[in-house]
Amino acid sequence: MPKRVLSGTVVSDKGDKTVVVRVERRVKHPLYGKIIRRSKKYHAHDEANAFKSGEQVRIEECKPISKLKTWTVLDRIGAAKTAAIEISEPEALAPEAEVPQPAEDKKAEKPVKAKATKKAKAEDVADADA
């Protein structure tokens, strides 16, 4: 019988010689018909600790290595997605760039509105009728 081969993303590489791979599949919902994603995690054997979190890998079914590990990592499909950040102006990150104003100064700038009471509103309506 042939061995199953799945592809997925490495979620965790914290264990020694072990990686956790999340395999996603798309299925149609039985009642609503919408295509939804289902995922399952597999513990796979990584002899050289060569695979890092975020990489796309292929795993193959094998005989049980431990209680949870029944898969081995075959190869890397894609590298981990990392965001490269470039700083064009390093002086813009300096803490002396701008000092925020205290909250007391901001409150002093706003004019205070007087609240209209029911009694004042009734007097305004009576004046308008007359």
User: What is the domain partition of the chain in residue ranges?
Assistant: 5-78
CATH, range 5-78: 2.40.50.140
Q: What is the pLDDT of residues 31-79, one digit of tens each?
A: 999 999 999 999 999 999 999 999 999 999 999 999 999 999 999 998 8
Sequence-separated contacts (24+) of 32-40 with Cβ below 8 Å:
none
* pLDDT for the residue numbered 102: 63
Residue type at 3 in one-letter notation = K
Name the one residue in this structure whose structure tokens are 């007087």.
114
105: helix, strand or coil:
helix
Residues pairing with 28 in the sheet = 35
Q: What is the pLDDT of residues 87-129, one digit of tens each?
A: 666 665 665 655 666 666 555 566 656 665 666 666 776 677 6
Could you give the CA distance from residue 53 to residue 44 in angstroms, rounded to a whole number?
13
The model carries a pTM of: 0.61
Strand runs (DSSP E) across the chain, as ranges? Answer: 5-12, 18-28, 35-45, 56-61, 71-78
* Whole-number Cα distances in Å, 29 to 8, 25, 26, 36, 37: 22, 12, 10, 7, 10
